Structure 1
Amino acid sequence: MQTLLIRPRKTQLETTAILQPQGSLTNNSVTWFIHQVNAAVMSEKHFSVVIDMNQVDSIDSAGLMAIVNAMKLAQRANKRFCLCSVPRSVSMILELTQLDGVLEIFESISELDSIFEIAA
């Protein structure tokens, strides 16, 4: 099951979409995630898209590709795209694939709140 939260920025003119996938981002479960993240990126309501990975316990090549493709889509749409709260097991995969150097990754939602000025 995936969750989509929309948090207004302090300006109230722009919003940040925060997606919170749960469980695994694998070939068997990634379709819904792809649909939701693409919709969030393409929405004119969202200035930035954050994937809160806190409850993701595993990821495979399909999940990695979904994240990379979402990042590229966000770049083309001139939107900020980042990950936060990445568990160690997923972080190791991002490091091995060298995606940790390509993706913008934050330690926590709290860190994002201060950087993105997301209203609580």
Structure 2
Amino acid sequence: MQVVLQIPKITVIRPHGCLNATNALELERDLTTALAQDEISILVVNLAKVESLDSAGLMALVSTLKLSMKLGKTLRLCSVSPALRIIFELTQLDDVFEIWESEPELAIAQLA
């Protein structure tokens, strides 16, 4: 029997408010905990409700991306507002992160 379609397990994390030095460690801990679960192969961070992002918040995402690569898993970002997208573009991290427009787009791509 041949497996025709295999959809990996996806976890979505939806932070909100400001991702900054005050809560960056908490965000990184939450993302790391999610990645460490064996049944998860893709971690999606939905940034739709994130109002601002400073260097500490950005570093939490970068650290999580590095961990995901080390574990052989995937980290994707989605629903990045234009204000946040500028930060990713200025830091040239838009070429490093997989950034999707929305969760539904990501889900459809997984089924294709």
Give the TM-score, by structure 1 length.
Answer: 0.84
Secondary structure of residue in 1 paired with 2:45: strand
Confirm whether residue 32 of structure 1 aligns to residue 26 of structure 2.
yes
Q: Which residue of 1 aligns with 2:80?
A: 86
Give CA-to-partner distance per residue, 1:5-55, whole Å, 9 cap, x none: xxxxx857x421100000011001222211110011111020110000000
Residue in 1 that maps onto 2:58: 64
**C-alpha separation in 2, matches of 1:67 and 1:30:** 9
Structure 1 regions of 5+ residues with no counterpart? 1-9
Match of residue 22 from structure 1:
16
Q: Considering only CA atoms, is the larger Rg found in Structure 1 or Structure 2? A: 2
User: What amino acid does structure 2 have at the position aligned with 1:40?
Assistant: A
> What TM-score do the two structures reach when normalised by structure 2?
0.90
Amino acid at match of 2:22: N
Query: Amino acid of the residue matched to residue 34 of structure 1?
Result: E
Q: State the match for 2:98 in structure 1.
A: 104
Partners of 2:23 and 2:65 in 1: CA distance: 19
Task: Tell me how many residue pairs correspond in the alignment.
Answer: 107
Offset at residue 116 of structure 1 (A): 2.1
Partner of 1:3: none
3-state secondary structure, aligned to 1:78: coil
Match of 1:116 in 2: 110
Residues in 1 aligned to 2:85 and 2:48: alpha-carbon distance in whole angstroms: 11
For structure 2, the 5+ residue unaligned runs are: none
CA distance in 1, matches of 2:109, 2:92: 24
- Seq. identity, %: 34
